[in-house]
């Protein structure tokens, strides 16, 4: 039999690398098993290649931005806080900067520098790693974990950390192995769902593809009457709503039925219906000879005008000829321009996965399984997800720290 490691980490992504560093720092002989040809493949594409590695804000703010199971993260975030994460990287020689929204990036704007810093730390603490190693099965006999790769090579260890991530962006190495391992050891898996993903529409939006709307309010109205709303910037694609506020809303609605759900855009969130009516009455008098199509150009981005005009169902008549009813109809559309939601986009397209290993069966102080001794789950494989802003990587770092620092024996 090959040598028995003190600790093996499956997955050489953000959480796996961090967990291996703290495991080794605590004196455990540690091996990372990664099926990609390199470590940190997903990390490389984070923050559009710049890696927004945390958010330079309070723990309370992090907890507020965690959409699923924020309570579970309380101990982890206190044990390895955003501030401590920043210190970890700066002490390791990586210069950082904080940008708009307290988003923290490497000063170089290169995610590869974050990866290299982690690899340097792994080297400093003698962490070994095996690349091109796809794990397919794990079993535990007595107190030893037997880990089988796809060529049936067996790795053995007394302590196992599962850091295999979620299901999104399969090109970066995402697999369901973490869920399979958990399930085989008796854990419950909360059904994985897309999060931070585009919202697919029933209507055709090909003509709007690429159109970005700023300072709008997007509200999702569900069949059960519940509403979720965000103000800011959004984007149309060929088939969906995307951009910051649409992505955020996707994470908030993914646990609900989207049957008959509506995506409602308010193009003039700063003005009430009544205020708009006063403005329109004035302008309809001043520009009485203008036609409706031309007038719409003063209210909406050019690319949206024709789409809006068609939706009004009106003829392109002069403003002077519009009735009060027409005017109120236009105002109503400006405040409540509805699209029918088809579904959320595919899980592979989401920036993160919601769902995963049920945290009820994981010790929040150690990330150890409550069902199997010396088995740990960290990072996105857990049923925890957050909004954009560096919060998801902070979840990866903090849970990894807990596991790496709480190995037993």
Ligand X SMILES: Cc1cc2nc3c(=O)[nH]c(=O)nc-3n(C[C@H](O)[C@H](O)[C@H](O)COP(=O)(O)OP(=O)(O)OC[C@H]3O[C@@H](n4cnc5c(N)ncnc54)[C@H](O)[C@@H]3O)c2cc1C
Which residues on adjacent β-strands are paired with residue 180?
Answer: none
In terms of CB distance, is 34 or 368 closer to ligand X?
A: 34
What is the spatial distance between Cα 119 and Cα 112, in angstroms, rounded to a whole number?
10
| Residue 404 CB-half CA count within 13 A | 31
Q: By C-beta, is 146 or 287 nearer to ligand X?
A: 146
- Residues numbered 387 to 406 that lie near ligand X (CB under 6 A) are 390-393, 396
**Number of residues in contact with ligand X, rule: CB under 6 A?**
39
Q: How far is the CB of 257 from ligand X (least distance, A)?
A: 26
Cα distances (angstroms) measured from residue 330 to each of 25, 73, 301, 308, 327:
65, 47, 16, 9, 5
Q: Which is nearer to ligand X, 33 or 265 (CB)?
A: 33
State which residue, 127 or 261, has the beta carbon closest to ligand X.
127
Q: Contact with ligand X (CB under 6 A): which of 7, 8, 9, 10?
A: 10
Distance in Å, CB of 302 to ligand X, minimum = 30
Which x/- pattern, by CB under 6 A, does the window 131-150 give for ligand X? Answer: ---xx---------------
Rg of the chain over Cα atoms, rounded to whole angstroms, equals 25
Listed in sequence order, the DSSP H helices in 151-272 are 177-184, 244-253
Would you say 401 and 25 are in contact if contact means Cβ atoms under 8 Å apart? no
Residues from 23 through 82 that contact ligand X (CB under 6 A): 33-36, 41-43, 45-47, 51-52
Find the shortest distance in angstroms from Cβ 365 to ligand X: 19
Calpha distance 338→205 (Å, rounded) = 13
Q: How far is the CB of 352 from ligand X (least distance, A)?
A: 5
Cβ proximity to ligand X: between 391 and 401 the closer is 391
3-state helix, strand, coil in the chain (%, to 5): 35, 25, 35
Q: Which is nearer to ligand X, 334 or 400 (CB)?
A: 400
How many angstroms from the chain centroid is the CA of residue 235? Answer: 17
Give the β-pairing of 240-242 and 227-236.
antiparallel
Of 11, 192, 198, 243, the one binding ligand X by CB under 6 A: 11
Q: Does 164 bind ligand X (CB under 6 A)?
A: yes
Cα three-residue angle 359-360-362, rounded to 5 degrees? 60
- Binding of ligand X by 203 (CB under 6 A): no
Q: Which residues bind ligand X (CB under 6 A)?
A: 10-16, 33-36, 41-43, 45-47, 51-52, 134-135, 163-165, 168-169, 173-175, 177, 351-352, 379-380, 390-393, 396
């Amino acid at each position: 039999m090959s040598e028995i490691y003190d600790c093996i980490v499956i997955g050489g992504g953000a959480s796996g690398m961090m967990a291996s560093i703290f495991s080794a720092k605590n004196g455990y002989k540690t091996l990372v098993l990664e099926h990609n040809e390199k470590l940190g493949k997903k990390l490389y594409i984070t923050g559009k290649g710049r890696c927004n590695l945390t958010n330079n804000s309070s723990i309370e703010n992090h907890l507020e931005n965690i959409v699923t199971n924020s309570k579970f993260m309380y101990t982890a975030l206190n044990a390895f806080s955003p501030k401590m994460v920043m210190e970890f990287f700066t002490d390791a020689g990586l210069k950082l900067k904080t940008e708009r929204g307290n988003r923290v990036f490497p000063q170089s704007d290169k995610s590869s520098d974050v990866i290299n810093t982690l690899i340097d730390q792994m080297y400093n603490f003698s962490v070994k790693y095996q690349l091109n190693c796809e794990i397919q099965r794990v079993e535990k006999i007595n107190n030893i974990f037997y880990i089988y790769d796809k060529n049936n090579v067996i790795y053995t260890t007394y302590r196992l950390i599962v850091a295999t991530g979620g299901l999104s962006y399969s090109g970066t190495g995402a697999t369901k192995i973490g869920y399979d391992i958990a399930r085989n050891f008796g854990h419950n898996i909360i059904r994985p769902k897309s999060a931070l993903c585009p919202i697919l529409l029933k209507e055709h939006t090909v003509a709007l593809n690429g159109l970005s709307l700023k300072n709008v309010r997007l509200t999702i109205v569900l069949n059960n009457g519940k509403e979720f709303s965000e103000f800011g910037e959004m984007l149309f694609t060929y088939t969906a709503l995307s951009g910051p506020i649409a992505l955020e809303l996707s994470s908030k609605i993914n646990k609900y039925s989207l049957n008959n759900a509506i995506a409602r855009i308010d193009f003039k969130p700063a003005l009430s219906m009544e205020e708009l009516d006063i403005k329109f009455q004035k302008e309809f008098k001043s520009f009485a000879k203008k036609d409706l199509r031309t007038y719409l150009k003063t209210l909406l981005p050019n690319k949206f005008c024709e789409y809006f005009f068609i939706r009004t169902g009106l003829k392109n008549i002069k403003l002077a000829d519009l009735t009060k009813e027409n005017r109120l109809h236009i105002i109503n559309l400006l405040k409540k321009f509805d699209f029918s939601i088809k579904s959320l986009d595919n899980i592979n397209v989401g920036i993160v996965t919601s769902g995963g290993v049920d945290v009820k069966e994981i010790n929040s102080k150690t990330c150890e399984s409550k069902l199997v001794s010396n088995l740990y789950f960290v990072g996105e494989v857990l049923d925890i997800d957050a909004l954009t802003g560096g919060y998801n990587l902070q979840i990866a770092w903090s849970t990894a720290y807990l596991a790496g620092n709480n190995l037993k024996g």
